[in-house]
Amino acid sequence: MALLGVVVRRRYFSPISDIPGPFWASFSLLWQLHKIFTKHTERDTINAHKKWGKFVRISHNEVSISDPDAVREVLQSQMDKADWYKIFSLPDSRYVNTMSETDHKEMVRRTRNVAVGYSLSNILKGEPHIDGCISLFREQLTRLAKLAPAGGIHLDKWVNYLAFDIVGESTFSKSFGFLDSGCDIGNSISNQFKLRLYIAIIGHYNYMHDYLLANPLIAYFNLQPSMHIFDTCLAAVETRSKNTEARNDMIEQWQAQRRAHPDRMAENEVLAAAVANMGAGADTVSSVLQALFYHLLRDQESLKLLREEIDNANLSDIPSYAEVRELPILAACLKEAFRIHTPVGFGIPRVSNGATVCGRYFPPGVILSVSPWVIHRQESIFGPDPESYNARRWLATGKEDEARTAAMERLLIPFGSGYGTCPGKNLAHIEMLKTVSLVVRDFTWKQIREGEDWEFETYFTSVPHDWPVILERRVRT
């Protein structure tokens, strides 16, 4: 009877009871959990809004909003983040970072502490080391193209290796060794898939997290599914604390910040920031790069325009950021990849503080969720073909197009928005521009199973599996 009472109260007497949505969502988390296991939360959320409109109840206490104004009224407000984010305190709950912090004031403080490490000027100081990773990436692809031209290359794996090694170099001047070894050391990357599923589910039940992966005993006994990554972070931070002549990478910037202001930044915040970099800075970049290479095969006109632009740009052997940052077609192709395949497949949840959003009042405590996948498919903003990859939509030619492009720019939110914007977006942008320009210039690629749609799963980040390509080194003219 008690359970029935909870169901009735949630379904019929909640302040959001009048908002339409799936039956199971009206009194529980079952709809969201089911969509996690079907691996396409983003697609089901899009379809739910097509069926029920701009407000959709996706759990007993959560409303998804598709109105573009919600970006400003929810994500750019001072609402706290939902408790779901606490799941990102890894390797355990002692290490709260900018991802797992939910209080918006505390989040702003933490972001200020680490901002110097993420600054564009600081990242560019380490560009030669990023170049080293990209050069090794090219060497390995060239070698594999010669060894197994017909058998194909699993490009998804190599893009993952590149993304993780670049984050390692930029964070603490030490790659994880994935590119050099040509394998997934300790199954760290493959275990990320398991970690995504864990995050997606246990994020809704955070009280369990302290007894599971966030239990310090898990790290003590080396049971964390991505311990190679965490161990590398721990060793690098420990070594750096004893080395005052280190390169000015992110760790050094954060250590300097802590030395200058020990009252503002706790010791464990340095490791917390490094681990957050691993979780947010590699999978997401890899996902977008794979999406771009995949969609360019299906948008040959955009690929042709991009290749011509890059061939005519007289780029260095490893393209520099200064050379590629102003290439308009390259920027358009990347923006469209961000739009059509935003790496985060879930909605971005905030907790109402008693706010009116898109004309509707929500009392304190109601979770308001804005999905980038939903926003990026609004025809009123992105045009009548939002489900198609079309980089040319970003190439403005007249005043009317410029106004439309400006509106699209405001609502392109692959890195989030407001105080929750991903601090690592500068690093992500640099490595993607450089990698895409090099691959397009130096290689051609096609799927072994030409025309076959990829299979991808969305737990937290959205990535493809089993995407072999035939890769050939391109002769430059």
CA torsion sign for 345, 418, 189, 83 is negative
* Kind and range of the H or E run holding 253: helix 250-260
Which of 112, 119, 106, 125 is CA-nearest to residue 257? Answer: 112
- Known binding residue 333? Answer is no
Tokens matching residue 330:
């390259």
Q: What are phi and psi of 458, to 5 degrees?
A: -125, 105
Which letter does DSSP use for residue 384 in this model? S
Q: What string of DSSP letters covers 187-200?
A: GHHHHHHHHHHHHH
User: CB of 258 within 8 A of CB of 269?
Assistant: yes
Contacts (Cβ under 8 Å, ≥6 apart) of 471: 141, 144, 145, 152, 153, 155, 443, 444, 445
The gap from C-alpha 311 to its chain's centroid, in whole angstroms, comes to 29
Q: What are phi and psi of 224, to 5 degrees?
A: -60, 135
Which of 281, 271, 232, 298 is CA-nearest to residue 450? Answer: 298
Amino acid, res. 265: M
Sequence ranges of the binding site: 422
Sequence ranges of the binding site for heme: 422
